[in-house]
């Protein structure tokens, strides 16, 4: 019996907590980039006498939405995988799981993140399109 319990703990750690850890690292990096970019944009435009055109403001809004969706994608994954890992750890401690094959690895856990991924691709594509048009 202890061998199966270790097998279950290993499956939870390697398959769920590792995805959680990966997403938290990515999320932290994105949030730092977003904070730096937004701070730089605000500092530049507050300290200069440069007037922004409506086109530039439009592009900047789409870029900020892109970064916000990027962070939301990983934040959602972090929350889902944390709850799933805690659920399976609880089930394992109550001996409700007989082997690691009972741990659900279905795609439902990444559906929300996938939708956010598609949304951010749309926003970066729109921003890129208008940036190219602005520069030509």
Give the tens place of pLDDT for each residue, 55-75. Answer: 888 888 898 898 899 999 999
Give the HSE-up count for residue 60: Cα atoms under 13 Å, Cβ half-sphere.
13
Q: Is the pLDDT of residue 1 over 70?
A: no
Q: Is the pLDDT of residue 98 over 50?
A: yes
Give the pLDDT band of residue 130 (cuts 50, 70, 90). Answer: confident
pLDDT of residue 106: 67
Q: Is the pLDDT of residue 2 over 60?
A: no
Sequence spans of domains, the chain: 2-135
Cα of 92 vs its chain's centroid, Å? 28
**Residue length of the chain:** 136
Asked if residue 35 lies in contact with residue 93, where contact means CB atoms within 8 angstroms, the answer is: no
In percent, the amount of the chain with pLDDT more than 90 equals 15
Report pTM: 0.71
């Amino acid at each position: 019996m202890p061998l199966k319990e270790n097998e279950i703990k290993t499956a939870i750690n390697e398959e769920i907590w590792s995805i959680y850890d990966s997403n938290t690292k990515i999320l932290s990096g994105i949030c730092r980039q977003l904070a730096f970019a937004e701070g730089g944009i605000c500092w530049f435009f507050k300290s200069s006498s440069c007037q922004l055109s409506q086109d530039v403001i439009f592009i900047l809004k789409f870029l900020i939405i892109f970064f916000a969706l990027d962070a939301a994608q990983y934040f959602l994954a972090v929350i889902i995988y944390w709850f799933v890992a805690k659920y399976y750890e609880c089930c394992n401690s109550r001996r409700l799981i007989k082997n690691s094959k009972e741990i659900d690895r279905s795609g439902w856990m990444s559906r929300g993140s996938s939708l956010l991924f598609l949304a951010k691709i749309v926003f970066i594509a729109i921003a890129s399109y208008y940036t190219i048009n602005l520069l030509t």
